[in-house]
Amino acid sequence: MIGVVFEEGFREQGEALAAKLNLPLVQDPEAFQYGLRITSPGLEIADLHKKQRPIRVDFHQLNDERSGGDLLKAVNTKTHKTVLDATGGLGRDAFTLAKAGCTVILMEKNPIIHALLEDGLLRAKDLQAVQRMTLLHADSFSAIPEHPAEVIYLDPMYPARKKDALPKLEMQVFHALLGAEQNELELLQMALQHARKRVVVKRPIHAPVIQAPSLQFKGKTTRFDVYLK
């Protein structure tokens, strides 16, 4: 499904990455849907059969964007300064919170997504926000109790859309790597046991609540369900 490819001059790095992640090197692109590709701008995941923008973690680009109003309100970054992002993903929300002054621990259990995050953080280590971010290769169910924080932030995987048109590359890859099924209720209850102040859950705007929240902050396509301790 996914193998390692590399640009000319990156063979050594490519072979090392393939060995580290236990992935094959791509010899025949027809045999793979996706490639974990080492390039000059950074590590990325690309669809080897369709022209789509590859997935890459680029915190310098995010640093130039203004976003996160509802997220910052839901976390209440004016008061809460320590956040555990237990479902790190590509780190966008964690970076937004760090940019607002929070110290953020990110957990990501999938080794391929973790590698993308690790690469992105390394390339952006000059940014003050990135210096407030710590990445852990960990499963949130077992690691949450070991990392107490004022706020625990969750962005659980949402089931694939039941439409003929495929979702964008990022969602396709996440479903392929992580699967669509997560025990959202169990994860929320774990977070509620260990967050000191609140738990914030990111959801598509029309998705059902996992359990009744204390507060909600709604945007056009996304909402944040807030559970106060």
70 belongs to an annotated ligand binding site: no
Burial bucket for residue 125 (CB in 10 Å: 0-12, 13-18, 19+) = exposed
155 belongs to an annotated ligand binding site: yes
List, in sequence order, every residue forming a beta bridge with 133; answer none if it has no partner.
104
92 belongs to an annotated ligand binding site: yes
Query: What are the E-state strand segments in 20-148?
Result: 34-38, 43-47, 82-85, 103-107, 133-136
159 to each of 1, 156, 180, 188, how far by Cα in Å? 20, 10, 5, 17
CB 26 within 8 A of CB 32: yes
Binding-site positions: 92-93, 155
Binding-site positions for S-adenosyl-L-methionine: 92-93, 155
